[in-house]
Structure 1
Amino acid sequence: MWQFFADNPWFTLFVVIAAGSLFGMVRFGPVKLGAAGVLFVGLLLGALDPDIGPAVPAGLAVFGLALYVYTVGLEAGPAFFRELRPQLGVMIGAIAALVVTAVVVGLLGNKVFGIPGTYLAGGYAGIGTTTPGLAAAQASSDQPTEPATGYAIGYPLAVVLTILFVSAIAAVRSWPARRDPGTGLPDRLVTRTVTVDRARTWGEVPGVAEGQLLASVHQPVGGAPRVAGGLDVLAPGDRVVLVGGPEAVADGIKALGREDAEHLLDRRDTVDYRRILLTNPDLAGRTVGELALSDRYGAMATRVRRGDQDLLAHDDLLLQLDDRVRVVMPRARTAEVTGYLGDTEAKVSEVSAVSMGLGLAAGFLIGIPKFTVGSTTLSLGTAAGPLVMAMVLGRLRRTGPLVWVLPTRANLTLRQIGLLVFLACVGLTSGYAFRREAFSLFGLKLLLVLLVSAVLSYALMVLVARLLGQSRPRTMGLLAGYVGNPAITAYANSRVSDSRVNTGYATLFALAILVKIVCIQLIVGL
């Protein structure tokens, strides 16, 4: 009966992806497996017959992994390099914690319980929920099913334990944050019209110099509304539209006068405003200031919608394809501004085959060189090579006519496809070995090693953040990035509303993957 799945591997692959994705949606308390559900359904199906795993098309897992790590690197690269200097201490602490965890996994697992390094390496990848780490362990092992068994045991353990840690952190009332007072970025933006009661210079209004408050439309006394670019002196009776976080706008209203019952943006006879989709590749990687909207069209950007987040459009904000830029402009020039930014839905999912092909080729190229450390051979390989290259290219954003970054929707789509294909292949090829090893005394020993190591690892990361004076929200994000699971980030965001959660996640996510890959290759050699 089960031979049908072995004889029809492509059918089997997509059945696993579909069923695994459904399983990943099932909520176990606060936990959902997400894409990892595909791995567990693949393990279940692969365990039914020893011929199913070998029938999986060769090389397909590498292709899926390459798509995944490359798109992750493009997104994570800018955040990593941006946080490199201010968060260097945290990064060094995270590296130390990961190395200590690897030593504990190796000594406790191999020296005390006699567990082979291949299983331990997969387990280490599992408690770090790092899919590229699993690929590195498999590439370094003569028996690639063994790391997958360890990974499948460690992964759900990691998700549950990390959520418990995040929950405990969120419950702590007193949490000093001497070196992390906050970003000053608002969690949401509001727009209000204010009537000026007393003469003020715009630059003196609280929040303006700090980049926390913008004016989008200005109506002088007796005049018509106009775009507020180059705003200088405000006279009594003037009306101004303020844009910023709720607190910054409230302070601006207090400094200028009173909130007006009539909203200037409701009048669109002379000034228009709308969100415009940025699809012009020539503008990707430019800052808001470099758009020169004021000089070109007498217009100005006030907000940038990126994913689910609204960002205040200060001049230094870097733009990327698929951003939705809210522009205030003279009504007569709306068509020109729209054409300049692009606003073509068809281009949202377009991918430059040239830049993506060159980037992946370069990533595989730097993954080829190997270095010998004792009896262990180290390399970036097919997991870390494309990741490192994508981080660099994501930081560059563009080189001449080549735009390296992808539109957000295209990036997320390719990432999801790559991850699902890789996990399905790993599950199917490792299922029969998992059935043989996981539910035995050997499996219980491995589970115990991973449990001790995971608790130690997460506690060390929290201790590092606490000693370095990081805030409670950032510590939650740092732990999520350290473990490397977006489900943990989502849970942390459900407990606190603070942009430092996502910033902390981005700080450590890519770095942790790279360190884990190196540690995993060392553990395999035990």
Structure 2
Amino acid sequence: MWQFFADNPWETLFVVITLGSLFGMVRFGPVKLGAAGVLFVGLLVGALDPDIGPAVPAGLSVFGLALYVYTVGLESGPAFFRELRPQLVVMLGAVAALVVTALAVGLLGNSVFGISGPFLAGGYAGIGTTTPGLAAAQATSADPTEPATGYAIGYPLAVIVTIMFVAAIAGRRNWPARRDPGEGLPDRLVTRTVLVTRPTKWAQVPGVAERRLRASVIRPREGTTRVAHSLDHLAAGDQLVLVGGPAEVEAGAKALGEYAPAHLLDQRDTVDYRRVLLTNPDLAGRTVGELDLEGRFGAMASRVRRGDVDLLAHDGLLLQLDDRVRVVMPRDKAAEVTDLLGDTEAKVSEVSAVSLGLGLALGFLIGIPSLTVGGTTLSLGTAAGPLLVAMVLGWRRRTGPLVWTLPTRANLTLRQIGLLVFLACVGLTSGYSFRRDAFSLFGLKLLVVLLIGAVVSYALLVVACRLLGQSRERTMGLLAGYVGNPAITAYANSRVTDSRVNTGYSTLFALAILVKIICIQLIVGL
């Protein structure tokens, strides 16, 4: 009966992706499995017959993994290098915690319980929810199904335990944060019109010097409404539109006077505003200042929407394809501004085959060299190689005419496809072995080892964050990035409203993957 799945591997693959995606939508308490649901459905189907796994097309999982890690690297690279200096000590603490956890899992599992390295390596990848780590464990194991069994046991365990840690952190009220850099961005942006009753210099308004508050439109007491360029002294009776976080706008309004009864942006006779989609590839990787909107059109970018996040525009902000730029401009310049930025919906899903192909080729290339340490061979491989190259290219954004970054929608689409294909392949090829090993005394022993490893690992990171003076909000984000699961980030954001959760996640996400891959290869050699 089950031979049908072995005889029709492509049909089986997409049935698994479909059913697994549906399973991933099911909510278990505060979380959903998401793409990981495909892995578990794949394990179930693969366990039905020993011929199903070998029928999966060779090399398909490598292709899926490469797409996933490369797109992750492109997105994570800028955040990693931006946080490298201010958060270096925290990063080193996370690396130390990962290494200690690898030693604990490896020595406890192998010496005490007699579990072989491949199972432990897969389990270590599981409690780190790192799909690239699973691929590294499989690539260095004689039997690739063994790491997959450990991963499938460790993954749900990691999600449950981490959620418990995040809930405990969120429940704490007094948490000293002596060295926390503070919120890099407001959680949301607001726009308000203020009537000046206290004459002052614009540069002295709170938040202006820190680039957390800006003005987009001004109507002088005597004059017509215009774009707010080169503000200096503000006189009583002037009206201006403030843009920033709620707290920053409130502080600015108090310093200047009071909220005006009418909103200047509602009067669009001389000054207009609109969101314009950035699809011109010549502008990707440029800064807002390099657009020279003021010099060309007398216009101004006030905010940039990237994915689901609004960013306050300033001259140094780097732009990328698929950004939606809020531009305030003279009414008669709207068509010219739109032509410059592109604003072509059809291009938001276009991918440069040249930059994508070259980036992946470079990633696979640096993954080839290997180093032998004792009986273990270490290499970046097909997981870490493309990831590392993509992080650098994402940080650089462009090289001459080559734009390395992808439009946000295209990036997320390729990432999702790659991850689903990889997880489906792993589940199908490992299902029969998982059926044999997981539901046994051996599986229970492995579960105990991974539970101890997970608790030790997450506790070490939280303690390190406390000792290093990080806020509880950033600690929640750092823990989510350390484990590497977006479901944990979503849960953390549901408990607190603070941008430090997301910046903490970005700080450790890519770095943790790289460190885990190295540790995993060492564990396999046990």
Residues 1:286 and 2:308 are matched in the alignment: no
User: Following superposition of structure 1 onto structure 2, how do residues 263-278 of structure 1 map, counting pairs within 5 Å?
Assistant: 263-278=263-278
Corresponding residue for 2:116?
Answer: 116
Moved more, 234-243 or 400-409: 234-243
User: Following superposition of structure 1 onto structure 2, how do residues 72-151 of structure 1 map, counting pairs within 5 Å?
Assistant: 72-151=72-151
Residues 1:306 and 2:267 are matched in the alignment: no
Q: Deviations over 1:458-506 (max 9, x none)?
A: 0001011111000000000000011010110010000000000011111
Which whole-Å CA distance do the structure 2 matches of 1:301 and 1:104 have between them? 52
Corresponding residue for 1:203?
Answer: 203
**Shift of residue 275, structure 1, vs aligned partner:** 0.5
Corresponding residue for 2:397?
Answer: 397
Corresponding residue for 2:507?
Answer: 507
Moved more, 227-236 or 352-361: 227-236
Corresponding residue for 1:415?
Answer: 415
Matched-pair contact (CA < 8 Å) for 2:186–2:245: yes
User: Following superposition of structure 1 onto structure 2, how do residues 221-300 of structure 1 map, counting pairs within 5 Å?
Assistant: 221-300=221-300
Corresponding residue for 1:332?
Answer: 332
Matched-pair contact (CA < 8 Å) for 1:193–1:240: yes
Runs of 4+ in structure 1 over 3 Å off: none
Which whole-Å CA distance do the structure 1 matches of 2:518 and 2:235 have between them? 63
RMSD: 0.9
**Gap runs ≥5 in structure 1:** none
**Shift of residue 399, structure 1, vs aligned partner:** 0.1
Q: Deviations over 1:122-180 (max 9, x none)?
A: 00000000000000000001100000000000000000000000000001111100001
Helix, strand or coil at the partner of 1:96 = helix
Which whole-Å CA distance do the structure 2 matches of 1:168 and 1:254 have between them? 37
Which whole-Å CA distance do the structure 2 matches of 1:461 and 1:235 have between them? 52
**Shift of residue 237, structure 1, vs aligned partner:** 1.6
Matched-pair contact (CA < 8 Å) for 1:181–1:471: no
Which whole-Å CA distance do the structure 2 matches of 1:65 and 1:449 have between them? 27
Which whole-Å CA distance do the structure 2 matches of 1:497 and 1:389 have between them? 33
**Shift of residue 205, structure 1, vs aligned partner:** 1.7
**Gap runs ≥5 in structure 2:** none
Corresponding residue for 1:344?
Answer: 344
Q: Deviations over 1:228-280 (max 9, x none)?
A: 11122222222111111112112222222221111110111111100011111
Letter in 1 for 2:164: L
Q: Deviations over 1:270-302 (max 9, x none)?
A: 111000111111111111111111011100000
Moved more, 412-421 or 190-199: 190-199
Letter in 2 for 1:296: R
Moved more, 36-45 or 198-207: 198-207
Moved more, 51-60 or 223-232: 223-232
Which whole-Å CA distance do the structure 1 matches of 2:34 and 2:218 have between them? 48
**Shift of residue 184, structure 1, vs aligned partner:** 5.3
Moved more, 361-370 or 194-203: 194-203
Which whole-Å CA distance do the structure 2 matches of 1:59 and 1:71 have between them? 19
Name the TM-score, length of structure 1 as normaliser: 0.99
Corresponding residue for 1:449?
Answer: 449
Corresponding residue for 1:521?
Answer: 521
Letter in 1 for 2:339: G
Aligned length: 526
Which whole-Å CA distance do the structure 2 matches of 1:509 and 1:447 have between them? 25
Q: Percent identity?
A: 82
Helix, strand or coil at the partner of 1:237 = coil
Which whole-Å CA distance do the structure 2 matches of 1:96 and 1:306 have between them? 33
Which whole-Å CA distance do the structure 2 matches of 1:96 and 1:249 have between them? 41
Letter in 2 for 1:178: R
Moved more, 179-188 or 269-278: 179-188
Q: Deviations over 1:30-54 (max 9, x none)?
A: 1211100000000000000011101
Which whole-Å CA distance do the structure 1 matches of 2:158 and 2:248 have between them? 40
Which whole-Å CA distance do the structure 2 matches of 1:475 and 1:63 have between them? 34
**Shift of residue 181, structure 1, vs aligned partner:** 5.3
Which whole-Å CA distance do the structure 2 matches of 1:324 and 1:247 have between them? 24
Which whole-Å CA distance do the structure 2 matches of 1:137 and 1:181 have between them? 36
Matched-pair contact (CA < 8 Å) for 2:184–2:500: no
Helix, strand or coil at the partner of 1:327 = strand
Moved more, 197-206 or 330-339: 197-206
